[in-house]
């Protein structure tokens, strides 16, 4: 491939001009500048960047290239969904650029061809740590958002099985435990993402919260969500009611529902929360987990279930586990199948090249040695082309 070599030769001469322009412009003006630049230096930018912003139009020609998610979409769609380091990167670079990679393209093509009158289809993204499961999921969610789907995004199911000290017995069902803070946090973010849907959809039955408070049938779902946000005690039950409503109404065909769960192996793993009698909680004894498990069943239609496994947060799992049956366990596997497994891998040569050029373009690689061929080989060797390791390495230089 001669293009990268051409780029690296052009880079020292072109880079000063680019840097000057990019520092002056803000994020929004970049879009105006980018076409002009790509016209004058086609070899440089079109190798690692594409101006195609709609994931529905991404195809094999865009593989390995970065596309930008518009800032408005980022704020609305991903109030809590992006990995922490990527959020820092967005702040630093002033833009949210995601690489187009094969697993997400495959998933999007499956979603395009699927029949939504049939039961919801399940997809599971798996792979080694740091290979891009969460990022691929976010890419696919951007596609769903652009298509006008209702996004039900649980960014990390593991947050609901650990690091929670204030779980209380549920008032609805005494054998279960509520997690009011986590539920409220999630409801808040759900509202940000799907505000426009909440006024259109109505409840199908009456929900009684206390002697004096109730949500009537036919009220907009927004009221249900507000009930959860205002009353801490009822927030977990509100989440359960909301999930039930969405499941029933997705079959109607007015909207498509995307249930996206990252770290889905938490639903069938172990928890570290203690019950009142000092025993460990089972996952199904937590209201949030119980209701989310109901969503994972494919007894509803009009949407898709997109999930990603996560080893980093998994409790009591060996370090080398990354395959579906290893992380989901027997019970989880039985409940989730049949699912389409999609594997994410480390960068191949083209993708690595792309990432390297992107960091150079953003002036992220400050060390002079990183510009040389030897420096690049060092990066390849140290990171083994693993995306997250490469990102952490580059933040030092």
Residues of the shown chain interacting with other proteins in the complex, contacts defined by CB under 8 A: 110, 113-115, 118-119, 121, 298-299, 301, 323-326, 334, 337-343
Closer residue to other proteins (CB): 220 or 329: 329
Select from 229, 264, 17, 238 the least CA-distant residue to 124. Answer: 264
What is the spatial distance between Cα 2 and Cα 149, in angstroms, rounded to a whole number? 41
Taking the chain, what is the end-to-end CA distance rounded to the nearest angstrom? 27
CA 384-16-397 angle, to 5 degrees, is 30
Residue 132, CA distances (Å) to 102, 200, 392 in order: 11, 35, 14
Closer residue to other proteins (CB): 138 or 342: 342
Count of other CB atoms within 10 angstroms of residue 312 = 12
CB of 108 to other proteins, least distance (A): 12
What is the spatial distance between Cα 37 and Cα 166, in angstroms, rounded to a whole number? 54
- Strand 168-169 to 177-178 pairing: antiparallel
CB of 388 to other proteins, least distance (A): 21
CB of 297 to other proteins, least distance (A): 9
Closer residue to other proteins (CB): 118 or 200: 118
Closer residue to other proteins (CB): 241 or 301: 301
What is the spatial distance between Cα 98 and Cα 73, in angstroms, rounded to a whole number? 13
CB of 118 to other proteins, least distance (A): 5
Closer residue to other proteins (CB): 115 or 279: 115
CB of 59 to other proteins, least distance (A): 17
CB of 343 to other proteins, least distance (A): 7
- Strand 168-169 to 150-154 pairing: unpaired
Residue 288, CA distances (Å) to 105, 167, 267 in order: 31, 11, 10
Structural contact between residues 338 and 183, judged by C-beta atoms closer than 8 angstroms: no
CB of 341 to other proteins, least distance (A): 5
Q: In the structure encoding, which two tokens stand for residue 288, read together? A: 């949030």
Q: In the structure encoding, which two tokens stand for residue 284, read together? A: 């199904």
Closer residue to other proteins (CB): 122 or 158: 122
CB of 37 to other proteins, least distance (A): 39
Count of other CB atoms within 10 angstroms of residue 60 = 9
Closer residue to other proteins (CB): 117 or 175: 117
What is the spatial distance between Cα 277 and Cα 279, in angstroms, rounded to a whole number? 6
Select from 99, 89, 203, 197 the least CA-distant residue to 145. Answer: 197
């Amino acid at each position: 491939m001669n293009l990268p070599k051409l780029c690296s030769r052009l880079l020292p001469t072109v880079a000063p001009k680019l840097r000057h322009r990019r520092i002056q412009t803000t994020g929004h003006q970049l879009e105006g500048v980018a076409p002009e630049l790509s016209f004058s230096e086609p070899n440089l930018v079109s190798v690692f960047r594409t101006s195609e912003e709609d994931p529905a139009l991404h195809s094999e020609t865009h593989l390995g290239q970065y596309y930008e998610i518009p800032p408005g979409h980022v704020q609305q769609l991903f109030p809590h969904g992006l990995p922490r380091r990527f959020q820092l990167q967005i702040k630093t670079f002033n833009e949210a650029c995601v690489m187009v990679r094969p697993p997400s393209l495959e998933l999007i093509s499956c979603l395009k061809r699927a029949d939504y009158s049939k039961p919801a289809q399940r997809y599971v993204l798996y792979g080694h740590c740091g290979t891009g499961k969460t990022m691929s999921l976010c890419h696919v969610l951007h596609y769903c958002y652009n298509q006008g789907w209702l996004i039900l995004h649980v960014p990390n199911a593991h947050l609901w099985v650990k690091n929670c000290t204030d779980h209380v017995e549920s008032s609805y069902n005494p054998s279960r435990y509520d997690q009011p803070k986590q539920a409220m946090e999630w409801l808040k973010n759900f509202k940000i993402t799907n505000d426009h849907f909440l006024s259109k959809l109505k409840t199908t039955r009456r929900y009684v919260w206390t002697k004096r408070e109730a949500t009537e049938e036919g009220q907009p779902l927004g009221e249900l969500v507000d009930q959860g946000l205002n009353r801490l005690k009822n927030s977990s039950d509100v989440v359960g009611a909301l999930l039930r409503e969405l499941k029933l109404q997705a079959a109607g065909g007015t909207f498509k529902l995307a249930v996206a769960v990252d770290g889905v192996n938490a639903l069938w793993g172990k928890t570290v929360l203690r019950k009142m009698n000092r025993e460990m909680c089972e996952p199904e004894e937590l209201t949030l987990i119980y209701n989310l498990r109901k969503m994972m069943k494919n007894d509803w239609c009009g949407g898709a279930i997109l999930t990603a496994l996560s080893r980093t947060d998994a409790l009591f799992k060996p370090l080398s586990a990354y395959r579906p049956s290893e992380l989901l366990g027997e019970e989880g596997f039985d409940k989730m199948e049949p699912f389409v497994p999609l594997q994410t891998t480390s960068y191949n040569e083209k993708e690595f090249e792309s990432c390297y050029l992107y960091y150079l373009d953003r002036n992220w690689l400050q060390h002079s040695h990183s510009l040389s061929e030897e420096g690049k080989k060092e990066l390849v060797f140290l990171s083994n082309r693993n995306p997250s390791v490469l990102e952490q390495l580059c933040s030092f230089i």
